[in-house]
Amino acid sequence: MNLMLRRPLIAGNWKMYKTVSEAVNTARELVGYAASASVDIMIAPPFTALASVAEIVSGTPVALGAQNLHWKDEGAYTGEISPVMLTDAGCQYVIIGHSERRQFFGETDDTVNAKIRAALAHKLIPVFCVGETEMQRESRETFSVLDKQMVKGLEGVPFNSESHLVVAYEPVWAIGTGKTATTDQIQEVHAFLRSLIDKRLDNPLAKSVRILYGGSVKPENASEIMNMPDVDGALVGGASLSAATFDRIIHF
């Protein structure tokens, strides 16, 4: 982890968990723990809880993120949420291209690309997720799959001096399975992603991009993962749902 250039980010993806009152209670507890943390912290509650959680985290070290967005500002798109609505609700970050969206909801590299553009245009920080399936790893396609996801996801994206980007490497086989990638596997992929980012983006933007690891991160493995040289943080699912457990990760 390069502390000089990039302050680590620990992000909690709450997925489709928590009612409004549960989300507010967890966020309130987390704000208490977060005061003494030396990392950036973000939580991504479900859409229904964003506005209420925004009131709790506003002015605290905990930033708010959404789990998805549509790329249009508004329109006849039943069931979708726009970047304008997310910034209005208090979001600073948005998770884009999570493997569960790619797997179950038809997310493609093209929609991911449109969403990254829309997020940046509205000054939301994209948390751009990439990762290979178990079958792709076994057939030695990990690097070609990641290369394609990165190139297509960022194709023609107009970055400027104010743009921020977070990339999350989440091997699909490690999400919610309890199987964590080994630190060697994580470092190898993160170094590869770092080299792709250096090629695609201008310095100093490239240097500011944080690459998070996600997939069964928990208090027991957080510090080992966070100490790898090219790991700048973590995207945490299951272990972010309890503030006390997440606290042990943000204080790794």
Residue of this chain nearest to ligand PGA (CB atom):
237
Closer Cβ to ligand PGA, 8 or 214, answer by number: 214
From the list 233, 96, 101, 98, the residue with the least C-alpha distance to 154 is 96
Among 66, 216, 225, 243, binds ligand PGA (CB under 6 A): 216
Catalytic entry in 98, 100, 107, 132: 98
From the list 23, 26, 63, 52, the residue with the least C-alpha distance to 242 is 26
- The count of C-alpha atoms lying within 13 angstroms of the C-alpha of 78, restricted to the half-sphere facing its C-beta, is 0
**Integer Cα distance of 141 and 158 in angstroms:** 29
**Integer Cα distance of 163 and 125 in angstroms:** 8
**Integer Cα distance of 217 and 56 in angstroms:** 25
Catalytic entry in 70, 107, 170, 190: 170
What are the φ/ψ torsions at residue 11 (nearest 5 degrees)?
Answer: -115, 140
Among 175, 209, 222, 243, binds ligand PGA (CB under 6 A): 175
Closer Cβ to ligand PGA, 101 or 117, answer by number: 101
Among 176, 198, 220, 229, binds ligand PGA (CB under 6 A): 176
**Integer Cα distance of 236 and 54 in angstroms:** 19
Contact 224, 182 (CB under 8 A): no
224 classed as catalytic: no
Closer Cβ to ligand PGA, 50 or 172, answer by number: 172
50 sits near ligand PGA (criterion: CB under 6 A): no
Task: Tell me the window of 153-161, 193-201, 205-213, 230-238 that interacts with ligand PGA (CB under 6 A).
Answer: 230-238
Nearest distance from residue 245's CB to ligand PGA, in Å? 11
Among 1, 8, 10, 13, binds ligand PGA (CB under 6 A): 13
Catalytic residues: 98, 170
**What are the residues binding ligand PGA (CB under 6 A)?**
13, 170, 175-176, 214-217, 235-239
